[in-house]
Chains A and B, each alone.
Chain A
Amino acid sequence: MTDTPGATPTNNSSSLPLGPTPRFVTRTFDVPGIDRIEVYRANGGYEALAKALKQFEPDALVDEVKKSGLRGRGGAGFATGVKWSFLPKDNPKPRYLCVNADESEPGTFKDRMIMEVSPHLLVEGTIITSYATKVHRAFIYIRGELPVAEQQVSRAVREAYDAGLLGKNILGSGYDLDITVHRGAGAYICGEESALLESLEGRRGFPRLKPPFPAVVGLYGSPTVINNVETVSTVPAVVTYGAEVYATYGTEKSKGTRIYCLSGHVERPGNYELPMGTPLRTLIEDYGGGVRGGRKIKAIIPGGSSTPLLKPSQIDTPLDHESIAAAGSSLGSAGVVVLDDQTCIVGAVLRMTEFYRDESCGKCTPCREGTFWLVQLLERLEEGHGKESDIPLLADICDNMYGRCFCPLGDGATLPITSSIKLFYDEYLHHIRAHGCLVGPRARGVAVGAAS
């Protein structure tokens, strides 16, 4: 939380070095064949790497990234440079970098795009990140269900080896790095960083106890950096343009740009790279073309399905960590999902909850059993067989899960439910009293007001 939520970009557009909406990450994404190394290099690719190796000592690079204000793009939004600096200085074990390419948060599809469209950007970012953190072995853990992304990144890695950008003595700098592309096999939980490490070690994707944190005891018990694809892919731009230019964009505490994944009931869904702090309205109306069919917004999920819903009146909230937090939700993975007024909220929440039930790893009791119970209750409500006691019961189950689960998955599962009960209590009640939906194809009966 901040005293001045970054409601406005820190600079006005006239003084912005790269114009109002620069694309730090997706600048060259519409260049045909950008997935090929020659095209990528012809468009300035791997120049950031050359600059990093030539002009920066690793520690200076860490400082540069710290200065840029870059924060993790996976969901938690932790400062990237600070995360890197948590690596112990005196640990004799090898260090590892794991790029988290296990994108699977419902409503999020930016990492897949980066990998499929411009895999060399990811490879370049991985090399620079590895150099900065003094890592000589990096893994890119790609979600199993994204075979095209895996093929693209694997090919980019091969091309980079062939071009002397990977392996021994990269670009004559004396720096060595090997990258292994690793494919997951279907488990949302492996996006949680310690579960990713377990999975990479060939085990069930169960999250690990923390502390110790991966920076200290990570892969094979060694110090390990874990960064999201978009985060790593932003690093070359920080090097190219410098931390200062990068930090010109965005808000005071949420710097730079962000790839917003816009989906749901909008005319033009897609990935839009915009400065942090861009209002939801701008994204939805100017870029997304507004709500599909000219309907009204019913609710907005601002950061992937594990974030609380926002109501239509919050559409002017700027999309940065602090402002969204102040609005009662979280920027998460920046997966913005728009629900129009014909959406049955119970049905939508049920669908999101089914996801968590199916993707719960089963390690801890509240998540394993709680999601199972929540789905059954929501099913009953959606089908019109619910009882009035079900609503407080749902809320209490969520209360017994939130903050009680082993990892954030279980917490995340409760957020759509608790926030929707708060915002749409009457609609829940309608399902019970009218034995059916308020809106949508299964709408039944007239609207029922809240009790009392």
Chain B
Amino acid sequence: MTGEELEARLREIVAGYPSARSAMLPCLHLVQREHGYITPEGILAVAEAIGVKPDEVESIVTFYSMYTQEPKGRYVIKVCTSISCYLRGCDDVMAHLEQRLGVRKGETTSDGRFTLEAAECLAACGMAPALQVNGHFFENATTERASGLVDYLANGGDPEAISSAWQPTSDGRGMATVSAIGAKSEQPATGSADGHAKIQQNGAHEQ
């Protein structure tokens, strides 16, 4: 998007709301998507489009945890660390990913490919521990499956293609989700919900 196209798109978003300021979050989502992170120019563009002062936009950007003012890796892996994932071993997954990627949580690999982050409850408690890659869920994670995921992504895999899908639970009386990667080696020592999971082979390259 050129600067002008971006401005036009921002104006369009603003026009969709009864009050211009309501477009704050959607506009910031857009500039973040366009620039990869919230740049000073992005803040000025949003301030201009909405008709507020840049300092007010800055205040919003720092309040909401999804906005970042620093560039991130191509794949942002978020590990949910809240209670349900904690109970099912998210700390092990996180530790494994830290070791595997050679970064600590919050950091980006030196090649700029991966950013590893902790996330607050991602509404995936029934499929814990849960990961997100660029917004796509990867659930019932284990250290092994997380490793498989990194391999898959390292080889240019599309995170969307392996995103979790909702399935009825084994008794057909409830719903949970399954992820579609790296589960073949492992039928839950920790007992996951994916007894019925259809494991799609989708080109993940295991080492």
Residues in chain A within 8 A of chain B (CB atoms): 21, 26, 29-30, 94, 103-109, 111-113, 116-117, 137, 143-148, 180, 182-188, 199-205, 220, 261-265, 267-273, 287, 292-293, 301, 305, 335, 337, 339, 343, 347-348, 351-352, 354-355, 358-359, 361
Is the C-beta of B184 less than 8 angstroms from some C-beta in chain A?
no
Residues of chain B at interface, number, CB under 8 A: 59
Contact call B21/A184, Cβ cutoff below 8 A = no
Is the C-beta of B93 less than 8 angstroms from some C-beta in chain A?
no
A204 / chain B contacts, CB cutoff of 8 Å: 59-60, 63
Contact call B170/A117, Cβ cutoff below 8 A = no
Docked pose: A347 CA to B83 CA in angstroms: 10
Contact call B83/A137, Cβ cutoff below 8 A = no
Contact call B120/A358, Cβ cutoff below 8 A = yes
Picked from B52, B128, B136, B173, the residue with its CB within 8 Å of the CB of A263 is B128
Nearest to A359 among chain B residues (CB) is B120
Which of chain B's residues 131-164 have a Cβ closer than 8 Å to chain A? 132, 135-137, 163
Residue of A137, A268, A359 with most partner-chain B CB within 10 A:
A268
Chain A-chain B contacts (Cβ-Cβ < 8 Å), number: 194
Is the C-beta of B121 less than 8 angstroms from some C-beta in chain A?
yes
Contact call B123/A201, Cβ cutoff below 8 A = no
B124 / chain A contacts, CB cutoff of 8 Å: 109, 112
Picked from B29, B123, B173, B191, the residue with its CB within 8 Å of the CB of A108 is B123
B16 / chain A contacts, CB cutoff of 8 Å: 180
* Shortest distance from the beta carbon of A34 to any chain B beta carbon, whole Å: 10
Residue of B17, B21, B25, B64 with most partner-chain A CB within 10 A:
B25
Docked pose: A265 CA to B88 CA in angstroms: 7
A352 / chain B contacts, CB cutoff of 8 Å: 82-83
> What 0/1 readout, one digit per residue, does chain B (163-178) give for beta carbons within 8 Å of chain A?
1001011111111100
Is the C-beta of B116 less than 8 angstroms from some C-beta in chain A?
no
> What 0/1 readout, one digit per residue, does chain B (42-69) give for beta carbons within 8 Å of chain A?
0000000010100000011001111100
List 11 other contacts, CB 8 Å, given A107-B125, A205-B64, A359-B120: A109-B124, A145-B135, A185-B65, A185-B66, A199-B25, A201-B22, A204-B60, A263-B87, A264-B87, A268-B176, A347-B86
B22 / chain A contacts, CB cutoff of 8 Å: 182, 200-202
Contact call B21/A337, Cβ cutoff below 8 A = no
Query: Chain A's interface: helix, strand, loop or mixed, by majority?
Result: mixed
A146 / chain B contacts, CB cutoff of 8 Å: 122-123
* Shortest distance from the beta carbon of B68 to any chain A beta carbon, whole Å: 10
Contact call A271/B176, Cβ cutoff below 8 A = yes
Nearest to B90 among chain A residues (CB) is A351
Given contacts A148-B136, A185-B28, contact A104 B174 (CB under 8 A): no
Given contacts A105-B121, A144-B66, A145-B122, contact A270 B87 (CB under 8 A): no
Is the C-beta of B24 less than 8 angstroms from some C-beta in chain A?
yes
Contact call A29/B83, Cβ cutoff below 8 A = no
Contact call A116/B87, Cβ cutoff below 8 A = no
A137 / chain B contacts, CB cutoff of 8 Å: 18
Docked pose: A118 CA to B126 CA in angstroms: 18
The 5 A-B pairs of least Cβ separation, nearest first, read: A202-B24, A186-B65, A185-B64, A202-B21, A263-B125
Docked pose: A271 CA to B176 CA in angstroms: 6
A358 / chain B contacts, CB cutoff of 8 Å: 120
Contact call B163/A148, Cβ cutoff below 8 A = yes
Contact call B87/A348, Cβ cutoff below 8 A = yes
Contact call B82/A355, Cβ cutoff below 8 A = yes
Residue of B26, B50, B83, B119 with most partner-chain A CB within 10 A:
B83
Nearest to B191 among chain A residues (CB) is A292
A105 / chain B contacts, CB cutoff of 8 Å: 121
B88 / chain A contacts, CB cutoff of 8 Å: 264-265
Nearest to B170 among chain A residues (CB) is A268
B86 / chain A contacts, CB cutoff of 8 Å: 347-348, 351
Give 26 A-B contacts (CB < 8 Å), ordered by A residue: A104-B120, A105-B121, A106-B84, A117-B166, A117-B175, A145-B119, A146-B122, A146-B123, A148-B163, A183-B25, A186-B66, A187-B63, A200-B22, A203-B60, A220-B18, A262-B174, A263-B128, A268-B169, A268-B170, A268-B171, A270-B169, A272-B173, A292-B191, A354-B81, A355-B121, A361-B63
Docked pose: A269 CA to B124 CA in angstroms: 10
Docked pose: A258 CA to B193 CA in angstroms: 21
Which of chain B's residues 1-40 have a Cβ closer than 8 Å to chain A? 16-26, 28-29
* Shortest distance from the beta carbon of A117 to any chain B beta carbon, whole Å: 5
Nearest to B166 among chain A residues (CB) is A117
